[in-house]
Amino acid sequence: MRYTRVSVGGRAVWGRVGEEDIELLSESPLECDPDVIGTVARATAVWLPPVVPPVFYAVGYNYPRHIAHAGATTPDRPEVGYRANNALTGHGSPIVKPVEVEGRFEAEPELVAVIGRPVRHATYEEARKSVFGWTIGNDVSARTWQHRDRTFWRSKNSDTFKPMGPWIETDVDALAQTTTLRVNGAERASFPTGDMVYDPFDHIVEITRHITLHPGDVLWMGAESTCQIEPGDTVDVEISGIGVLSNPVQLEGNRA
């Protein structure tokens, strides 16, 4: 199944995505079996981030090639940081580049695990069962701010810097897929989605030693490769078996 949220009359409504239409749902499918309350055509849907997480977890260094490229050391255990909900935006909505951003402005294509049940002190098998499904994230980053600031507050969490979607796919072997990054249709990176130092379940085991994960929490799994994006570009992140997250890039205050 593919679940998402769409904007209907300015209100966020859960939906189940079909080939042509999206069935609108009475409530979140994460914790119950909702009723169908309507339908909208996919072609005209306004896509929202498929979930607004109670906690937004993000893994940094997790792909061997990225670690080597950054000259970083391989982490000796899974570790996570955070991103912020204000930055989330849906499939099709613009990534807005602030006018003050100088230097590299980059896309990072990431697999996202969506938690489906409360979980603490998970075994690896329990961690597997705790994942409701998988979606796609683009961890847009302003590098000058990232290197200058003490935290990632504006470099990675300015409004619209976290496109997520287009939906949560519940039936896919996410780690056996391929992640592809395209700008204006041209491939800029492609890597095996599962080529991670620690997989999502390793992270859930480690996190839940001290932390309760809750339904709707998301875990962004890091990127192997990144690329520069500019106003006027359209950036697509595809993960085979899940879908394509596509967003135009605009300069703040403009419609470029």
Nearer to a copy of itself, 84 or 251 (CB): 84
**In Å, what is the CA distance from 74 to each residue of 38, 93, 139, 246?**
49, 35, 20, 31
Asked whether position 159 contacts a copy of itself by CB under 8 A, the answer is yes
C-alpha to C-alpha distance for 103 and 115, rounded to whole angstroms? 35
Nearer to a copy of itself, 54 or 92 (CB): 54
Q: Which stretch binds a copy of itself (CB under 8 A): 37-45, 157-165, 193-201, 221-229?
A: 157-165
For a copy of itself, which residue of 93, 138, 141, 158 counts as binding (CB under 8 A)?
A: 158
Q: Binders of a copy of itself among 78-107, rule CB under 8 A?
A: 79-82, 84-87, 98, 100
> Residue 167's CB: how many other CB atoms inside 10 A?
25
Phi and psi at 216, nearest 5°, equal 95, -20
For a copy of itself, which residue of 207, 218, 227, 245 counts as binding (CB under 8 A)?
A: 207
**111, HSE (Cβ side, Cα atoms, 13 Å):** 32
Which residue in the block uniquely carries the two structure tokens 């498929």? 50
Contact criterion met (CB below 8 Å) for 14 and 28: yes
For a copy of itself, which residue of 37, 211, 244, 251 counts as binding (CB under 8 A)?
A: 211
**Closest approach of Cβ 213 to a copy of itself, in Å?**
7
Nearer to a copy of itself, 52 or 172 (CB): 52
Asked whether position 42 contacts a copy of itself by CB under 8 A, the answer is no
In 3-state terms, what secondary structure has residue 18?
coil
Binding track over 107-136 against a copy of itself, x by CB under 8 A: -------------x----------------
- Write out the two tokens for 24: 């609108």
- Write out the two tokens for 107: 């896309």
> Residue 254's CB: how many other CB atoms inside 10 A?
11
**Closest approach of Cβ 243 to a copy of itself, in Å?**
26
**Closest approach of Cβ 240 to a copy of itself, in Å?**
30
Contact criterion met (CB below 8 Å) for 5 and 53: no
Q: Which stretch binds a copy of itself (CB under 8 A): 11-19, 33-41, 49-57, 133-141?
A: 49-57
**44, HSE (Cβ side, Cα atoms, 13 Å):** 5
Kindly list the residues in this chain that would bind a copy of itself in the complex (CB under 8 A): 52, 54-55, 60, 75, 79-82, 84-87, 98, 100, 120, 149-151, 153-154, 157-159, 207, 209-214
